[in-house]
Amino acid sequence: MQQSASVSNTLPAGKYVYFASDFHLGAPDRASSLARERRIVKWLHEIAPHAAEIYLVGDIFDFWFEYRKAVPRGFTRLLGTLSELCDSGLPIHVFTGNHDMWIFDYLPSETGVQVHREPIQRSWNGKDFYIGHGDGLGPGDYGYKVIKKVFNSRLCQWIFARFHPNFGIGVADFWSRTSRKVSQEKDATFLGEEGEWLVHYCKEILTREHYDYFIFGHRHLPLDIRLTPDSRYLNLGDWIRYYTYARFDGNDLELLRYGAHPADASNQ
């Protein structure tokens, strides 16, 4: 798998880099999704004056597909806020996740966000970061890895685009609800380092090169695991149950909970 080349920056005094993941807007119903969207927008407006960059690390939407002349209905508060912040000059990065891998050019062209489809490397103040959504990485989950290749193929996307949006999005919503029910219990339980595939993935990378921090989403469970004395793995959790995010101040990375401090996270 290819990663983008590492980009090194120095954070201005008093500025932070923020990371959040797994908003799953659209799920499980319109009312709860709208309440969550309003809370996310409020958080974005609160952190924006202090942010050097913002990274939204996948599954922003519970489902997303861009037809040539149509996009899924809703999410206007978030999309408007992203546009406003990008227009102000604030760099915002959006990663595709397993639920919204069919983000194409609408978000970058309409809002100004930078879209990433693979893990990327970044460096701030001499600290090296490895950032990605996390789906399909590490050992196991072979069925999903096959499905991901199919869904990422141009043929699959072309076929899906032939469906009327009412039908296509309806099928996708059903698929998403079913998938969430299957993984719900696992998402709420720490599986131990041997059972966490992303931990294996991080440790394998560390055999080749050093990173101070690995940041992933996808897992839905806030985790802060020390891999070596000078390397940590953080999972950002989700904004369905935890409302957790990470903040880097130039020296240290914290896992926080919106509305509380510190985060109610699993510190291993």
Cα distances from 62 to residues 16, 94, 192, in angstroms, run 28, 14, 27
Q: Distance (Å, rounded) from C-alpha 207 to C-alpha 68?
A: 44
Q: Is residue 257 part of a domain?
A: yes
Q: Is residue 113 part of a domain?
A: yes
Q: Distance (Å, rounded) from C-alpha 217 to C-alpha 219?
A: 6
Confidence of residue 264 (pLDDT cuts 50, 70, 90): very low
Give the range among 146-150, 232-236, 254-258 with minimum mean pLDDT: 146-150
Q: Is residue 138 part of a domain?
A: yes
User: Residue 25 corresponds to which tokens in the numbers above?
Assistant: 């807007």
Q: How many domains does the chain have?
A: 1
Q: Is residue 62 part of a domain?
A: yes
Mean pLDDT of the chain: 87
Contact 134, 219 (CB under 8 A): yes
Cα distances from 3 to residues 28, 82, 173, 237, in angstroms, run 33, 25, 30, 23
Q: pTM value?
A: 0.87
Q: Is residue 2 part of a domain?
A: no
For 183-232, write each residue's pLDDT tens digit.
666 677 877 888 899 999 999 999 999 999 999 999 999 999 999 999 99
SS3 223: strand
Confidence of residue 161 (pLDDT cuts 50, 70, 90): confident
CATH, residue 241: 3.60.21.10
User: Residue 108 corresponds to which tokens in the numbers above?
Assistant: 């970058």
Residue 38, domain extent = 13-267
